[in-house]
Structure 1
């Protein structure tokens, strides 16, 4: 059975307000949600022996109503610098097709209707961040940017812990510096993904989240047929 060990950071942004209701398992603002999740993989990340350190993945999704009830449609982008082996491993992982804790991503991605490589640029300068996905041919599929959401008279941004999405997105519960997700004030979000219903969005001042993620699933050696029979015969 394939195993994996993935760690890194993610950025989430969508066209909902303040905090996307998906984080608390509620219906999206205005009855629909279009957004993205961008993952950046740390050194040491691997999937079934394939080193995916430094790779980036972006999923762009849409859904109407509560995502757990109505389902989600997703287009998955993998960094164009990824090799064929890395691309295959990453699309399996982030579409939620592997067993173990990564399987929870299937409830976030829903129906993955397309998987492709693209030029992905993720920048983080001090508190500000930006994400851009450019498809083959030069068309921009995604542009998003934002900063931590700090409320009036507060000195630190809003941090949410134990959210509805935390287990599926692999948000660690500890140590304290990695636990929880930090709410973001989206400066701008543009999505142009024609394969998705509602996949054309251009908004400002919406929501986002940033946090750490981690998934670990040990590789299990295949058991030969003869060994299975032997184990079965050994029962009392």
Structure 2
């Protein structure tokens, strides 16, 4: 019997690409490889009878080439506030075992370097998003200003963390991850954020 689940909320990602990131168009990263930190805040969610409202998840990714070609090395971070059943549910969803779009994302993973339970904070402010992973890692991103102070957006890109949603184009104020040999410390690089909605098959 397939477990019924559904989650929605906001996500952000911040990576090492410069300028307009080619990865979302299935192009090659601007630096040859790509290191990325992705965070999700679940506004409302349920996995069978397990409530997931308010919890966060993060994924550190190293891709040796074009992201759509796979062979990613990753570290999965689960919200320390979650109880054991909630963490098992989050692991099943974001590990791809529960189906839906996360299963497609997980198909690009070549190696899971670790799964950790840490304090995770995801903060939304007008034109800004902040992700904190434990004490050492995180991303602070700000929307790029477009015409007449409007946000710059992208829609219908072929390689998407949040399919069907409109991405806000942003830039990292800071991006840091130093764990499991996935190491980033940058600012002024590509970032995006948008709503997301995932559900089981």
Q: TM-score, normalised by structure 2?
A: 0.91
Q: 1: distance between equivalents of 2:96 and 2:3? A: 13
Q: 2: distance between equivalents of 1:110 and 1:162? A: 26
Give 1:109 deviation, angstroms: 4.5
Bigger Cα Rg? 1
SS at match of 1:29: coil
Matching of residues 73-152 of structure 1 within 5 Å = 73-134=73-134, 139-140=135-136, 142-151=137-146
Counterpart check, 1:164 vs 2:165: no
Matching of residues 1-236 of structure 1 within 5 Å = 1-43=2-44, 45-134=45-134, 139-140=135-136, 142-151=137-146, 153-166=147-160, 169-172=161-164, 179-193=165-179, 195-196=180-181, 199-217=182-200
Partner of 1:234: none
Partner of 1:224: none
> Which sections of structure 2, spanning at least 5 residues, go unmatched?
none
SS at match of 2:107: helix
* 1:19–1:208 Cα contact (<8 Å) kept: no
Q: 2: distance between equivalents of 1:145 and 1:82? A: 24
* 1:68–1:107 Cα contact (<8 Å) kept: no
Give 1:132 deviation, angstroms: 1.2
Over the residues paired in the alignment, what is the CA RMSD in angstroms?
Answer: 1.8
Q: Taking structure 1 as reference, are residues 200 and 217 closer, same or farther at Cα in structure 2, changes over 3 Å only?
A: closer
* 1:96–1:109 Cα contact (<8 Å) kept: no
* 1:27–1:65 Cα contact (<8 Å) kept: yes
Q: 1: distance between equivalents of 2:122 and 2:43? A: 14
Residues 112-136 of structure 1, C-alpha deviations (whole Å, 9 max, x = no match)? 22111101122223222221111xx
Partner of 1:228: none
Residues 191-211 of structure 1, C-alpha deviations (whole Å, 9 max, x = no match)? 111x23xx1221110011101
Which structure dedicates a bigger proportion of its chain to strand? 2
Which structure dedicates a bigger proportion of its chain to helix? 1
Q: 1: distance between equivalents of 2:157 and 2:60? A: 21
Number of paired residues? 200
SS at match of 1:164: coil
